[in-house]
């Protein structure tokens, strides 16, 4: 979003701080490596597995 529209955003004062700290936050998340729980990862894997099953069924039906 162009900077000229930041005036209209209630969260605008936070943008500079967030962008300034983004690299540090990203490094922290990478070093933690998912130590704070896996529920999203497990859910994602579950969805990926189900998608794979559906693709295999579709491929078998097309043969």
Q: Is residue 49 part of a domain?
A: yes
Q: Is residue 11 part of a domain?
A: no
**Which pTM was predicted?**
0.36
If pLDDT is split at 50, 70 and 90, which confidence band does 63 have? low
If pLDDT is split at 50, 70 and 90, which confidence band does 25 have? confident
* Backbone torsion region of residue 2, taken as left when φ is above 0, otherwise alpha when ψ lies between -120 and 50, otherwise beta: beta
Give the total number of structural domains in the chain: 1
Q: Is residue 34 part of a domain?
A: no
| HSE, side-chain direction, 13 A CA sphere, residue 11 | 5
Domain that holds residue 62: 39-63
Q: Is residue 50 part of a domain?
A: yes
């Amino acid at each position: 979003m162009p900077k000229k529209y930041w005036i209209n955003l209630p969260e605008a004062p936070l943008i500079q701080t967030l962008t300034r700290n983004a690299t540090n936050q990203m490094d922290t998340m990478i070093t933690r490596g998912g130590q704070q729980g896996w529920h999203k990862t497990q859910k994602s894997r579950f969805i990926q597995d189900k998608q794979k099953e559906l693709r295999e069924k579709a491929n078998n039906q097309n043969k």
